[in-house]
Chain A
Amino acid sequence: MVGPEQPLLPGTEAPGAKFERKADEIIRQYPVSRRSAALPLLHHWQEEFGFVSQRAVEWIAEKLELKPIHLLELVTFYPMLRVRPGGKINFKVCRTLSCALAGSHDLFAEIRERCGATASAGHGMYVSPDGAYSVEFVECLAACGSAPAMMVGEEEFERATIDTVERVLTKSKARRATGGMRKD
């Protein structure tokens, strides 16, 4: 169980019409209770804006006819929900036993060093001073047979090594140099 160590950031995001259409589509999947759409909408927000702000909590609460506390209690419970922006490239390394046996803790240290992710952003996440990279431990990713398991954004990697990390970094640099297609 985790909780934000600091209050939510106020947030200045302005959800557009497309965002709202998708939100309505999500809500329709819960015909019995709108409240069921709370976590899906928080995911939707985080995917669009990178983290959950006070604005997010209020916008979703209004949309679902809930009180902001009903959203805040989720934000303080589910580890995947983030209340601060992570790095533009975020590494998640599996901390748990099978991956630890395969060297995931060394990999974690190597990524931190390679990306200069020195500043703690709370909850065990480390960010580079320029905000470009972050790295955090996560629990078993259900890929223990091809340990160590790692995620970069939503992409999953098995048998990850520092070479995998280098490839990810090179690719993202190339993408940025050509104008980029990443939405973040």
Chain B
Amino acid sequence: MTKVGAANDRLAEHRIILRFVDEPDYTTDIDCYLRHGGYEQLRKALSMDPAAIVAEVKASGLRGRGGAGFPTGTKWGFIDHAKNRKPVYLLCNADESEPGTFKDRQILYKDPHQLLEGMIISSYANRAHLAYIYIRGEMAHGAQILERALAEARAKNFLGANILGTGYDLDIFVFRGAGAYICGEETGLIESLEGKRAYPRIKPPYFPAVLGLYLCPTIVNNVETLCNVKHIVEMGGAAYSKIGTPNNTGTRIWCVSGDVRRPGYFEYDGGAITLGELLYEVCGGIRDGNRLKAVIPGGSSAKVLRAGEIYPIRRKNSEGRLEEIEMKLEDLPLDFDTIAASGSMSGSGGIIVMDHTRDMVECLNNLSAFYAHESCGQCTPCREGALWMHKILDRMREGEGRPEDPQQLLDLADQIAGRTICAFGEACSWPVESFVAKFREEFEAKAAAKEHERLQPAC
């Protein structure tokens, strides 16, 4: 447990995944990891039946930390080991490229063995004998840290043939991406790992667990998700499920960036603190004494929330009955479900804060440039639409807006989402939809600014 510099005890972080990373003497060395109880859970897991581990993960309620929040145990359950005759692969998604997200980096750079232990346990549970860590290309240093950790783990027989004499074989290798965001989408990741362009695959099949790497059943999980598995084995699924709130179990790592005094990464039980507490108390409030204007709660693809908004939230009350209550932005508990009920998503946990001095057209244009650059180009609505939206916004920013621009942006976004191969279509539309809808007056003002001038006869 690490305390944040806040008087309120409720705001003390509960660090499970990040427990050791910022301790002064903690290193990436395997001996350091072993001194801190490392690989004990691997021993325990290897003494269990793989199916029993899957059952614990199901009981834990663990939901994926990569963005979609899909229940991990359910995903693992898609592979029917009684019928399956193909090899199973496990892939760790360490592509971390969603703007605003920097949590996996903390684990990869400061506690690589925790990830490896989680991965080895998860591979064993899914009966995989070959696994890869797909790390984004820019993290060259992170890749080196992992390579070294893998060599150390092999030397101690936590990896390789006949692990710890149990007869279980597993190899893990590091694969480096090369600067393309779409490699984070799990089927794009698989294509990339197969040596091709990272073109996401057409669904169905909906899950790589059915048809994944080399057309075999494949489990793709995020770095933070796989680390959690180690702790589920340690405390048992039932005990883990008591952390946080129902359906939002375990801890979440929230990454805060943008206009706050103390940005950073913070680990809390699901639903334990509110967005307001995180921004105003943990992060010291908005910087330079400014006021909050907007916050993106779950990575750049999540819909923006506007300061002052009140949301009708449907949730179960203490008697288990469904009720609808009104909640202010600051009062939203940070979890999967409430943030979703506010019309956005907690996605990858990347919270980007904008203060009242920020120009929303500029901010959205920055994000739209990202999406225009990162569309893989397979689907026409996404390839053309993402670029078109960016061109409009760039033009507006330059003072060449037209009155029809805000509506045009909304129409474009509307015609991309739901009409593409992968969820990048939504990812590039949601920011546009929400920024324009929620700050319409600002977009209209920008759009109208030049009209007056344009209507003047040239002289």
Seen from chain A, the residues whose Cβ lies within 8 Å of a Cβ on chain B are 1-2, 29-33, 35-40, 42-43, 64, 66, 70, 73-74, 77-81, 92, 95-98, 100-101, 138-147, 151, 154-156
Contacts and interface: CB of A to CB of B under 8 A. Distances in A.
Contact of B197 (A29, A77, A151, A156): A77
B194 A96 contact: no
B38 interface: no
Interface in B164-210: 173, 175-181, 192-198
A98 B256 CA distance: 10
B98 interface: yes
A95 B369 contact: yes
Contact of A98 (B99, B105, B196, B264): B99
Interface in B13-38: none
Sort A-B residue pairs by CB-CB distance and give the 3 closest, nearest first. Answer: A78-B178, A80-B179, A35-B195
Nearest to B99: A140
For chain B, which range describes its interface: under 10, 10 to 19, 20 to 34, or 35 or more residues?
Answer: 35 or more
B358 interface: yes
B62 to A, nearest CB: 23
Given A79-B179, A139-B181, A139-B373, A145 B256 contact: yes
Given A31-B130, A140-B100, A43 B178 contact: yes
27 contacts: A1-B180, A1-B373, A29-B173, A31-B130, A32-B130, A40-B176, A42-B178, A77-B197, A77-B198, A92-B138, A95-B366, A97-B100, A97-B367, A101-B358, A138-B179, A139-B97, A139-B179, A139-B373, A140-B100, A141-B138, A142-B101, A142-B139, A144-B255, A144-B352, A147-B257, A147-B263, A156-B138
Interface of B: 87, 96-102, 104-105, 130, 136-141, 173, 175-181, 192-198, 214, 255-259, 263-265, 300, 350, 352, 354, 358, 363, 366-367, 369-370, 373-377, 383
Contact of A97 (B99, B102, B141, B192): B99
Nearest to A146: B263
Contact of B137 (A35, A80, A101, A147): A80
A143 B263 contact: no
